Structure 1
Amino acid sequence: MEESFALKDMFSKESVGVLAQSIAAVDPQFQEENFLQGVFDQTWGQLELKQRMRQITINLGRLLPEDYPSALKILKKALPLLTEQGFEKMVFPDYVETYGLEDWKSSIQAIEFFTQHVSAEFAIRLFIARYPEETLKVMLSWVNHPHPGVRRLASEGCRPRLPWGLRLRELVVDPSPILPILEKLKNDPREEIRRSVANNLNDISKDHPDLVVEILSRWQDPDDSDRCRLIKHALRTLLKAGHPGAMSLIGFSSTPEIRVENIRLEPREIHLGEEVIFSFEILSTSREEQQLMVDYVVHFLKASGTHSPKVFKLSQKTLKPGERIKITRKHGIKPITTRTYYPGVQIFQPQVNGVGFGKVEVTLKFPGQV
């Protein structure tokens, strides 16, 4: 039986060995065997992804020169030799994050270099938190950098709520220092950079929804397909929440003229690992054609006995006057790492243009329950 591959397995004896060889190639004083023995100690098998990366970093710090700028010179020479590696090169910005916080100038220069080979979006955040004015000033200058990796870092690195990254609490409260960066990058020729701008605005929208709607209203250009994609991606959280301004911005009314009927859920009792069939009908009561964003919400039972809503996307529909459509979706209640299920009543609800219509319940049972 073939073993499954975990992301942490990218830090393997082979990949870390190649890293050691690249450093030894530019620094004959580097002790390869000592390094590898330190990395692959008795704890290695129990370490997860970021723990493995940090263990590699700490052993680099143990054997590279104590003088931080001298160590960076070696790493800058070694990194371009790793032509076959991708994510594994995250060790290089992690070294800056771990050892460089007291040397802002050397670290920012290293981050600018390293991010042309592998993203430094996690490392830069400690410097934003410690030196916000100086770091954001440099990041604003990066919007004109010739390398797309540096331009992307200008946006991605200052996302207030970057997943798995340090939350930038000052920027969560006041995102105004970010906005000039996003303004400059909104027309970048690279899709991944415009998408980063959208992700940054989506982060901001969770705390400042009206601000983001106002910015995107100014940016709106129906004839620019790239801009339309950026706006829709930036609004995704607000669209799920049914924010009226966000809905209006992309052509959806927050008060759709419809009736939602025949809401059904089968079966009404399931065990963990099984699925239900959820269906409902939408009838247009308008005299005009309507654009509808059709979703559904599952209100999952929590340990406290309350429910937590989660929106699931379905489709966008154009309904003519008097038209009726039926929506059917299978939904599995299966174990996943990002959600804990609790036995009891789970609630399903149609949502159209951010507005909920009616509810039906299913009882979730765990193995052994009668």
Structure 2
Amino acid sequence: MEPFKNLINATTVSSAGQHLQRAWSDFDRPRFEALANHGLDALELKARMLQLADAMRATLPGDFNAACSVLEASLAPPLPLDARGEPEGLTSAQASTGLAGWVIWSMGEFVARHGQHDVPRSLVCLHALTQRSTAEFAIRPFIQQQPQAVWPVLARWANDPSAHVRRLVSEGSRPRLPWGLRLQALVADPTPALPLLRALQDDTSSYVRRSVANHLNDIAKDHPDLVADWVKDHLIQATPERSTLLRHASRSLIKQGHAPTLAAWGLASGLTGRATLSLSAAQAAVGDAIGLRVTLQSTARQPQPLEIDYAVQHVRANGSSSPKVFKGWKLSLAAGEERALDKRHSLKPVTTRTLYPGMHRIELLVNGLALAEATFDLKP
């Protein structure tokens, strides 16, 4: 798979230069491209994005309002949406008319860096940019530094005709957005965002609803009881779409065995019966996979709804261990039923986790409770 950083390349720079010059005849395209391309291949993704933003600063009009007007005039049409409200790509003809995609990240960074003195004008520009990719990173410095000016605008945008803009309301204000500036005030107190999430959780676009679920999952990391109460309250007469959203919002709390969340989903009790876990081998090597077999035996007189996950206690470099929970199965176990479940667990290294040799323990979690375990020796 090609690295993300390569999506900002010399072709991106050339296209940006072309359309910025189209939008403003006095634009110094050669200087912009020279600055943006300087040592570009040696840079990582974020550094490339910042270098393009710096090149824009050096070549766009010095007046911020005029610079925003040039950015807006350089844009392609808004990204179209499918029947579910999910974004689709532009046709080649549409893409040739203006800018969209990864370059928008640099344009948003320019606005975030240089528009703090004029929040209303900056937000108008971000409103346009987010419809061609996303402004979820660019809006965060405004929320952090000037929240009183931004929250009323976000409240209006929650009813915007564009699903891209409505998604920005939720995604841009997530407390712990990956790759984004952490909004510590919202980590401590997410209250300002809650009315917006309430307004958006039944949005017609699955693109927007998924952002709301991820936002609630962010909040759950610091305020689990708040999210458990939210799920309990909003499950009442919930549509299938809202139930799906709330389930996704609950995923971390369910994995953790958070009792109020499990209760909200009718998973408060553990298994009435027996559970065993066995592995396909006593040893495995990094890069291989190991098989898990779970056997459930119900002794209940009624069906039991079960969330079955498993936690791998990964060995760390210093010899200690840290757990990582993996999704397993969601099922209803009939009265007196015995059922066997099989899964292959990959031991291939991933960018977010280094696998170290040593004895690894796997715990079987049924409705958040550890009911069985097994071990294997991971070899280099």
Q: Normalised by the shorter chain, which TM-score bucket?
A: over 0.9
Matched residue of 2:284: which SS?
strand
**Equivalent position of 1:54 in the other structure:** 50
2:347 corresponds to: 333
Whether 2:135 is the aligned partner of 1:138: answer no
Residue 369 (structure 2) pairs with residue 355 (structure 1) = yes
Structure 1 residue 347 displacement after superposition: 0.9
Check the 8 A contact 1:254/1:355 in 2, yes or no: no
Deviates more, 1:267-276 or 1:292-301: 267-276
1:92 matched residue in structure 2: 107
Question: Following the alignment from structure 1 to structure 2, what is the Cα–Cα distance between the partners of residues 336 and 349?
Answer: 21
Structure 1 residues 172-221: Cα deviation after superposition (integer angstroms, max 9, x where no partner):
11111111111111222111112211111111111111111112222114
Distance in 2, Cα, partners of 1:69 & 1:359: 62
Q: CA RMSD in A?
A: 1.7
CA distance in 1: counterparts of 2:249 and 2:37, whole angstroms:
42
| Partner Cα distance (1:249, 1:222) in 2 | 13
Indicate if the aligned counterparts of 2:170 and 2:211 stay in contact, CA closer than 8 A: yes
Alignment of 1:1-370 (within 5 A): 4-41=1-38, 43-80=39-76, 83-84=94-95, 85-222=100-237, 224-261=239-276, 263-366=277-380
C-alpha separation in 1, matches of 2:268 and 2:345? 27
* TM superposition shift of 1:123: 0.6
Which secondary structure state, in structure 1, belongs to the residue aligned with residue 252 of structure 2? Answer: helix
User: 2:218, 2:333 → 1: CA distance?
Assistant: 32
Compute the displacement of 1:305 (Å): 2.5
Which consecutive unaligned segments of at least 5 residues does structure 1 have?
A: none
Q: Distance in 2 between matches of 1:283 and 1:73?
A: 67
**Structure 2 counterpart of 1:77, one-letter code:** A
Whichever residue aligns with residue 22 of structure 1, its letter is: H
Report how many residues are paired. Answer: 361
- 1:41-80 CA distance string (max 9 Å, x none): 2x21121111111111111111111221111111111113
Distance 1:111 1:58 in 2: 18
TM-score for the superposition, normalised by structure 2: 0.91
CA distance in 2, matches of 1:72, 1:348: 54
Task: State the Cα distance separating 1:223 from its structure 2 match.
Answer: 5.6
| TM superposition shift of 1:137 | 2.1
CA distance in 1 between partners of 2:146 and 2:264 (Å): 36
Q: Is the 8 A contact 1:221 1:228 kept in 2?
A: no
- Listed one character per residue, the Cα deviations across residues 157-180 of structure 1 (whole Å, up to 9, x for unaligned) are 111111111111110111111111
Distance in 2 of aligned mates of 1:278 and 1:183 = 40
Which shifted more, 240-249 or 16-25?
Answer: 240-249
Q: Which blocks of at least 5 consecutive residues in structure 2 are unaligned?
A: 78-89
Q: Offset of 1:12 from its aligned partner?
A: 2.1
Shift of residue 222, structure 1, vs aligned partner = 4.8
Q: Determine if contact 2:270/2:366 at 8 Å carries over to the other structure.
A: no
- Percent identity of equivalent pairs: 36
In the TM superposition, what is the alpha-carbon distance from 1:339 to its structure 2 partner?
A: 0.3
Deviations, residues 315-363 of structure 1 (Å, cap 9, x unaligned): 1121112211112211121121110122211111211111112221111
Deviation, 1:133, is 2.1
SS of residue paired to 1:216: helix
Give the whole-Å Cα distance in 2 for the aligned partners of 1:116 and 1:244: 40
Q: Distance in 2 between matches of 1:257 and 1:311?
A: 22
What is the deviation of 1:130?
0.3
Q: Distance in 1 between matches of 2:19 and 2:340?
A: 60
In the alignment, the residues of structure 2 paired with residue 233 and residue 273 of structure 1 have an alpha-carbon distance, to the nearest angstrom, of 30
TM score, norm. by length of structure 1 = 0.93
Q: SS of the residue aligned with 2:372?
A: coil
CA contact (8 A) 1:25 1:78 kept: yes
For 2:120 and 2:179, the matched residues in 1 are separated by 25
Q: Is the 8 A contact 2:119 2:149 kept in 1?
A: no
Q: Distance in 2 between matches of 1:135 and 1:231?
A: 27
Query: What amino acid sits opposite 1:45 in the alignment?
Result: D
